[in-house]
């Protein structure tokens, strides 16, 4: 069976990361009061986008 789960994992997290980054850039800063003023959508979006990209890279180069 040739199916590499890293493709869907990578795609999903790259998509979620991109969505969070875009939302982090356009959203009202007031919503980040609950997270101590940190734009957690932007920063965590970058983290999971990188995770997704690494997964895709691992699958692609396998």
Interacting residue ranges for another protein, rule: CB under 8 A = 1, 3, 5, 8-9, 11-13, 15-16, 19-20, 23-24, 27, 31-32, 34-36, 40-41, 44-45, 47-48, 51
Q: Which is nearer to another protein, 39 or 60 (CB)?
A: 39
> Rounded to the nearest 10 degrees, how much is the dihedral formed by the CA atoms of 44, 48, 54, 55?
160
- Shortest distance in whole angstroms from residue 4 CB to another protein: 10
CB 13 within 8 A of CB 52: yes
CB 19 within 8 A of CB 37: no
- Shortest distance in whole angstroms from residue 37 CB to another protein: 11
């Amino acid at each position: 069976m040739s199916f590499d789960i890293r493709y869907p994992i990578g795609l999903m997290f790259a998509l979620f990361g991109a969505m969070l980054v875009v939302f982090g850039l356009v959203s009202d800063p007031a919503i980040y009061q609950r997270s101590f003023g940190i734009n957690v959508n932007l920063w965590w979006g970058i983290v999971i986008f990188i995770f997704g990209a690494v997964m895709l890279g691992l699958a692609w180069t396998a």
